[in-house]
Chains A and B, each alone.
Chain A
Amino acid sequence: AQTVTQSQPEMSVQEAETVTLSCTYDTSESDYYLFWYKQPPSRQMILVIRQEAYKQQNATENRFSVNFQKAAKSFSLKISDSQLGDAAMYFCAYRRRWGSQGNLIFGKGTKLSVKP
């Protein structure tokens, strides 16, 4: 069975600084999707960034980028120029690519605090 592990329950960053959130996963499949979701106190899960495993290039979305290491099964999220609005729970998630019976498998989350 696939598993997703986020080893940092909490992280803190100074405003305008850079922070990296870690995620590792375990799967026997070669093709899959990886996601980072943000959940602010409003509760809505917001997609931050996604990565297709067959793409070697790391995904980037504005201040958010990932370091995808397929062999190491590692998928970290880097937030540059941190802003107060980045404070939230961040969840790493995995989904198999093929087959209709796929669903998101989430890590336990990392709570990010941003200090002014």
Chain B
Amino acid sequence: KAGVTQTPRYLIKTRGQQVTLSCSPISGHRSVSWYQQTPGQGLQFLFEYFSETQRNKGNFPGRFSGRQFSNSRSEMNVSTLELGDSALYLCASSPEGDYGYTFGSGTRLTVV
């Protein structure tokens, strides 16, 4: 059974650019969550999608957005990148009604 797949693994972007990260959940998992991990702030919740609807959102500016497709794959987008957006972005999926989240290996974003 394939795990949670995140692409790309590494990304380097310039300030002001935008970026799109992708997450493919475990087959059958309809809930996808995104987290940002930095040395200073630790792990912070970005948003959660279920059946193509955002049902929970963390305290991040509007530059951070996401979506989920009918096959449960999810993307998150960050516009007008800032140096502080450099982080490891983790995606997690879970089946409905079960909170045993399975995480992907993350996308390491570096903004220069």
Contact = CB atoms under 8 A, between A and B. Distances in A.
A103 B92 CA distance: 11
A101 interface: yes
Contacts of A84: none
Given A103-B33, A103-B48, A109-B42, A95 B99 contact: yes
A33 interface: yes
Interface of B: 33, 35, 42-43, 45, 48, 50, 55-56, 58, 88, 90, 92, 99-106, 108
A103 B111 CA distance: 27
Contacts of B48: 103
Given A101-B55, A104-B45, A47 B101 contact: yes
Interface class of chain B by DSSP: strand
Nearest to A52: B99
Contact of B106 (A33, A44, A107): A44
Contacts of B58: 103
A106 interface: yes
Given A50-B100, A100-B50, A101-B55, A106 B43 contact: yes
22 contacts: A35-B101, A43-B88, A43-B90, A43-B105, A44-B103, A44-B104, A44-B105, A45-B90, A45-B103, A47-B100, A47-B101, A95-B99, A100-B55, A101-B56, A102-B56, A103-B45, A103-B48, A104-B33, A104-B101, A105-B45, A107-B42, A109-B42
Interface class of chain A by DSSP: loop
Interface in A80-107: 91, 95, 97, 100-107
Nearest to A96: B99
Contacts of B92: 45, 104
